[in-house]
Amino acid sequence: MALITGLLLLAAISLLALVGTSGMILQRHMASNFKHNSTAFQNADLARSEGLAWLFSRANFERESNCLADCLLPIAIHPTSEIPVDIEHQSLAWWRLNAIEAGSDPATGLTSSPIGLDGSVAPLWIIEELRFQPLELAPPLEATEGVGYYRIYGRGSGGDTQSVAVTESIVARPWGENITPVEFPPTESSDDFCSQLEEIANPLLHCGPMAWRQRR
């Protein structure tokens, strides 16, 4: 009886040990997935921020003045017809073909410095022009043509290929001779670009991010 009781106790202890080990393994997997997903999100948002800096760095002559559709757009800025509505589900091959790798200059193709946290794939960004709103000009706005509205996407990955995040923001970018672009790579924040418009009292002259969401 003592032997049987001992064997039963040993079996119960072994079962508890197995259950505890399984729980620890599950918690490790959950923690790892959370870390990868968090890294993917941060990389996506870093890429989106760099796309915003690129948009604010474009010279005014790069966009066809007062054009509402089929415009001559700055490099790396696409018309709506070129961007799929389900961009968050597009393959990595599509992103690499159409988007810009964070840390590189679209005009030269040169990479200044890698941007992003440790991930399986470098962060990528792409810009879509939604519409252009011309302004009815009046002094002191003779040289201001209007405001372009853009959708900026950022794609980032975590430590494995399954951890992918895509962020999106809607941004207003004024165009005109009175608008001074910023440097790229960015040395200032987007607020510095928009602060130059504070002296122009026009409620239609929007500038900066207007909406944001995570699509994946």
pLDDT in tens, 142-171: 444 788 899 999 999 887 778 899 999 999
Indicate whether 28 belongs to any domain. no
**157 falls within a domain:** yes
Residue 26 in any domain: the answer is no
Domain assignment of residue 18, yes or no: no
Buried b (16+ CB within 10 A) or exposed e, 192-215: ebbeebeeeebeebbbbeeeeeee
Residue 103 lies in a domain: yes
Does 2 fall in a domain? no
CB-neighbour burial class of residue 88 (10 A; exposed 0-12, middle 13-18, buried 19+): middle
Total count of domains within the chain:
1
Instruction: Report mean pLDDT in 10-residue bins for the chain, 216 residues.
Output: 73 68 61 78 91 90 72 82 90 92 82 68 91 67 69 90 90 86 77 76 76 90
Residue 131 lies in domain: 40-214
**Cβ atoms of residues 13 and 68 within 8 Å:** no
**φ/ψ (deg, to 5) at 95:** -60, -45
pTM, rounded to two decimals: 0.80
